[in-house]
Structure formats: structure tokens, C-alpha cells
Chain A
Amino acid sequence: MYLLTNAAKNLARNKGRNLLVGVILFTIIVAASVSVLINSTAGAVISDYKSRFGSQVFLDLDYEKAIAAGNYDEYEGAKGVQDLTPDQNFKFADSKYLHETKMTASAMINFPDAVPLDNIDDPDLQARGYLIGSNEPNISKDFESGARKIVEGRAVQAPNEAIISKQFAELNKLKIGDNLDIVRTGNKKELPLKIVGIFEDNTMLGAENNPYMQKNPLLNRNNEILVGIDTVKEFGASYVDASYFLNSPDDLDAFEAELRDKGLPDYYKLRTDEAGYQAVVGPVEGLTKLTTTFMIVVLALGAVILLLISTLAVRERKYEIGVLRAMGMRKTGVAIGFVAEMLIMTLFCLAIGFAVSAVISQPIADSLLRNQIELAAETAKNGMGGVTSINAGAGAGTGAGADSALTPLSQLTVALTAGAISQISLIALALAVVSSAVGIVYITRFEPMKILSERN
């Protein structure tokens, strides 16, 4: 205990030297802290986006393989290319490598007991409406965007529940709680549905109100009957639109192997949205590289400066070492005292450093990120790669489609996380060890008599 007390007193006794070491230590800690804070925040953002962009898998047609296999012809197109069947999509979705599959399935239907909107008397017309099911709560983006909204009842929660449009309901005098039978085109499969909600479509006028629209029940979106994915699956889907989300981007190869086993033809390839990821995260990655380089330079230079100062300080303190050893203090005791002095100073600098870096990190991060975005935009303008607006492209096949226009991250909210605190503390600890190392080496190498006789 007295070693700690003496170490604390020594800090006050040698103010000049300790102030110099403290200022250098503080500067290094603040610089490293800012870098770590920006890096850890940027790292979390990158990891999040990597997981989002890297985990969404699209199934694209591999034209090279399709052509090589004779499945694709320049003039006749994809003559031998088999579209993925709904059953295949359902099978693909059942994988341990996926944490989620967003699916929308549809089937063409007829209404044995109801009349569709914009109906025409055409015996060749095989269907008069669509059964659309999804495993997403909002069923489609129309509900998110406000193009459609439920005006009565609730969303679908169980198999064989359905929501219908307000116009369809009014035309057929249907209300919540009523049953609506549907049949599949061709095989006459009947499925009774229970109406649990009524939606209103703000974009669909119908042929009666739109002179430019062809009168056809299949073109009127108010004839769509919205159900859960399992209802369509049971009824028999004719088309499935699926987006697969891996547990981790690292599972891509294993997932592909599984899909091949399940019958995915060779001329389909699995793709993640690398371009979208680069477009959004590129500037942040640039920022991370910049701060990492800065941190390495600061740490290397700082360590060298600290070593030099420590060497000079030890020369100044060797007499003190000699006295303490002559008084019977063990080498370990002297070393512990030196390390304790450095640790106390480091902890002090660390505490202030945390506060200062927490305040200045955000403006520094903003400024650096702004520069990176400008640099990326300049590069894009010069035709070296689009950054500010990139068409990520869903590709062919059953790709669900990514956002068509991606903008890079323009803001990074720097936060002092437990991970960042640990990293900064470790760096500070390493600096303290580096600073104490010279003293410890000196203590272990020289005997007190040698030190004192040199002095005397």
C-alpha cells in the first residue's frame, strides 16, 4: 500500500517531468480514443450494413452458364431455361442458413359466387382476380406507403383469412365475417375464405373511372384477395417472389450447396448486393482506414517519444533507484512503484481523455466523413464509379430487388461503447507499460552500490 502512496506522492514531487509525460500521454490517449471511437462506431455501422447487404441473397440467371449449356440462345432467348417453380422457392426457404425469407406468392382465381370489378363477358378469360399472400405483416409495400390502407377490420393473422377491397365488398355486398369462395383456374379447386378486413386502394380507379384503362378484371387491383402465405401455398401458388436472408454472409457457400442439392439449376447463381453495400458504406470504410492509419502513426510515434522521455527520466531517477535499493527496497518494489506512478498518471489522463475525446470525436467524424463523401462524389463524377446514386439492381431470376437508388451514409453517430472503452483502456495500459519498461529494465540491471558510487 505504501508503494502506491509513495507513487502518488512522487507524481507531485516531480511536477515538471510528470507534467511533460502527462501531456504527451494525454495527447496520445485523446488521439487514439478519437480514432477508436470513430473506428468502433464505423465498424458497427459497417458490420450492420454488411449483414444487411451481404445477407440478402438474390437468385440470378448466369447467362454464361446458360449459353454454355445451350439453354440460352441469342435469337430465341432462354429457350431451355426453367423458371424456378413456387415449390422450389418454398423448399429453398426451408433452410437452417436463413434467418428470414420474405415471400409473396400469387395465384389466379375465379369467384363462383361473386362478381369481380371491371368484369367482361369473355369466355376465353381463364381468371377474374388474384389471390396474393405474403409472410410479411404489411403484405405489400402499398400498405407501408399508404397507397392502400385497411379501413375496416384487421390484417390477416391465420390461414384462410382474407382482406378484400372496399369496392369488391360493396359490389358483392360482403362484410367482415362473411365467407368468400374462390376457385383456381382450371382445376376448380375451391377454398373458402373468411373476410377479416377491408382495405381501400387510393391508386386504383378502375376502368369505369379511368377512360384510358382497358376493362379487364385482372387489371383491376381491387379484385386482389389478400391472404397469408400459407393460404396461397395450400391453394397452390402460380408465382412466388422470394428474398432470402442468410444468418450470416459467411453462410453463402453453404446455402448455395444446399440449393444445388435441392435442385437449383447450374445456370442460376447466388448474388449478394455487393454494389449497394459499397455505395452506402464506401465512405465509412474510407473513414475507418484513415482513422486506423492515423491511430497507428500516433501510437508508434507516441510510443517512441514516451520511450525517449522514459529513458531520460530514468537517467534522472537512477539516483532515486539507488537510494531506495540501498534502503532495502526490493527490485520488485521499486518496479511496482514506477509502474504505479505511470498507471496513476495514465488513469488520470484516461479519465480526462475519455471526456475530451467523447466531445471532439463527433465533429471530427463529421468532418472526416464529409471529406470522404466529397471524395467519393468527385470520383463518381469523374466516371470512376458511382457512389451518390447507384442502381443496385435486383438482377434477373427471382431476385426480390434492392433499393434502386442508394445514397452513402452521411452521418455517423459516434458513441462511447463498452468495446471502445476497453480498447482505449488497453491502449493506455500498453502505453503505461511501454513508459515503465525502461525504468524496470534499469532497476533489474543495476545494483544500488553501482548507482550510488557513480553518483558520489
Chain B
Amino acid sequence: MSILELTNVSYAYSGTTNQVLRGVNASFEQGKLYAVMGRSGAGKSTLLSLISGLDRASSGQVNFNGHDLAKMDRDDYRARSIGVIFQGYNLLGNATAIDNVVLSMNISGVKGGDKRRKALELLEQVGIDAETASRVVLKLSGGEQQRVGIARALAHDPAVIIADEPTGNLDYDTEKQILAIFAELAHEHNKCVILVTHSKKVAAATDEIWGLNHATLTFVKENTRRDWSK
């Protein structure tokens, strides 16, 4: 059963008639890793903002678990149901890595337990050690910030994880590690993971590839699962 479903979704920036997305129909399930591909300016980030509840469709419906996002409390949706890993990371630069993750838990209303310990565990899962976790984000490398972004997106255990160009700034080894994390989240933790990318290599590592072209999203192909540990 699909957790995210887009029905005839169109989007145009206010004051313009030029549609960035036109009649988009798509369906995303839990336990799968998706790639949404397209050229720069094709509307990938717009699609991400609609799915993540940061913006509203001009027409059509984005449904999460059968509920129309337009009728939902989008703040609550962003806080609890979805984890977004932004292209520019969008972390709080003056805060430590661990504070970024703990803040996400607090906003989501995660109750009980030692949140700092849990945040540290999440950061360790994505390859950030305790010493790095206690450093201010601005002093971390691009790859480390990317990992902090992933840990923050996982902090509230969302059903859907969306990542915008998650490996754009990473070297080969780090890219491989990050993609392995996404695959594990989808396949072992039953998350719906959508990677917005223009990298064919990244797309090839996912279960399904969707293409965004001429403002329309179309299913491209299904991949065979890979063993990311190799």
C-alpha cells in the first residue's frame, strides 16, 4: 500500500502561469528506495517541497497515508511524519551536531529517554563519532554535515524520508556509505525513501526510478536490489 500518493498535482509559482509541475501522478510505498531524476530546473526541488509539506500544490492532491496534505496540519506533518535531507543541509550552523538532532526530536515531541544518548546513537549510525557530534556544525566537512542532516531526518523515526541531491558534494567512499544507509532504512527499517538526484549512479542504486521531464513525472524503471555492503 502506498504511503504517499500524488494525484493530478500541478504547481505554478504565484503570479505566473508557467507550470513547474503539471498533472503529476505517482505513488510511493514503504520499504522501497526511489530515485526521482531530472535535469536542473526540471522541478525536482518543487516536487520535494510539495511532498515534504513545505509548499502547497496549485491543484491536485498529495495524500499521506490516505489523508490530503492540504487539509492536514503541515507543521505537524513535517515534524512527525517526514524527514527531509536538504541539498544545502539546512542545519543550524552555530549549534553542535548533537543539538541539531536533539532539537528535531524536541520539535517532533519525542517523549522520554535520554535524547542526547539517542541522538549520539543516530549520529554514530551515520558515521559521526561522539567527538565530532559535539562540534559546531559549521566546523564540520560537507560529508559530515550531510550525515548530520540524515541523522536529524531520522531523529523522529519518520515513515517517509526525502533527500535532495544527498550525495552531490560527497566523495566516492562517502557517497557509497550514505547510499548504503538509505538502502538500509528502506529495506530493513521499512521506510519510504525518495532520493531526488540527477546522478545516474545514485539512481541505479535505488529500487525504482522516476523521471521528471517537461513538468511531468513518469515511471522509468525498476532496479534489482543491490547489496550495498559490497
Contact = CB atoms under 8 A, between A and B. Distances in A.
A323 B91 contact: yes
A330 interface: yes
Contact of B49 (A6, A9, A14, A449): A449
A217 interface: no
Given A9-B95, A13-B94, A323-B92, A2 B54 contact: no
A447 interface: yes
A448 B54 contact: yes
A448 B79 CA distance: 13
Interface in B72-127: 75-80, 84, 86-88, 90-92, 94-95, 99, 103-104, 106-108
A453 B55 CA distance: 11
**Residue in B49, B77, B91 whose Cβ sees the most chain A Cβ within 10 Å:** B49
B86 A452 contact: yes
A330 B90 contact: no
A355 to B, nearest CB: 30
A170 B90 CA distance: 106
A320 B103 CA distance: 13
B79 A456 contact: no
A447 B79 contact: no
A328 interface: yes
Given A326-B54, A329-B107, A456 B88 contact: yes
Nearest to B53: A328
Given A328-B75, A328-B108, A449 B55 contact: yes
**Residue in B78, B87, B90 whose Cβ sees the most chain A Cβ within 10 Å:** B90
A455 interface: yes
Nearest to A14: B94
B14 to A, nearest CB: 10
A449 B51 CA distance: 12
A452 B77 contact: no
A327 B88 contact: no
A276 interface: no
B107 A328 contact: yes
Contact of B104 (A9, A319, A327, A455): A327
Contacts of B108: 328
Q: Size band of the A side of the interface?
A: 20 to 34
B101 to A, nearest CB: 11
Interface string A412-442: 0000000000000000000000000000000
A322 interface: yes
A2 B110 CA distance: 12
A447 to B, nearest CB: 7
Given A9-B95, A328-B78, A333 B107 contact: yes
A452 B79 contact: no
A327 B79 contact: yes
A69 B114 CA distance: 95
A328 B80 contact: yes
B211 to A, nearest CB: 23
Contacts of B88: 452, 455-456
A330 B136 CA distance: 25
Nearest to A452: B90
B55 A328 contact: no
A338 to B, nearest CB: 14
Contact of B84 (A10, A320, A326): A326
B88 to A, nearest CB: 5
A329 B80 CA distance: 11
B80 to A, nearest CB: 7
Nearest to B79: A328
Contacts of B75: 325, 328-330
Contact of B103 (A6, A325, A330, A453): A6
Nearest to A329: B107
Given A323-B91, A452-B90, A456-B87, A447 B55 contact: yes
Contacts of A329: 75, 79, 107
Contact of A320 (B45, B87, B92, B99): B92
A281 B15 CA distance: 68
B55 A326 contact: no
Contacts of A449: 49, 54-55
Contacts of B99: 9
Contacts of A13: 94-95, 136
A1 B2 CA distance: 37
Contacts of B86: 326, 452, 456
Given A2-B103, A9-B99, A328-B80, 14 more contacts: A6-B106, A13-B94, A13-B95, A14-B94, A322-B90, A327-B104, A327-B152, A328-B107, A333-B107, A447-B54, A449-B54, A452-B86, A452-B90, A456-B86
Interface of B: 45, 49, 52, 54-55, 75-80, 84, 86-88, 90-92, 94-95, 99, 103-104, 106-108, 136, 152
9 contacts: A6-B106, A320-B92, A328-B77, A328-B108, A329-B75, A333-B107, A449-B55, A456-B86, A456-B88
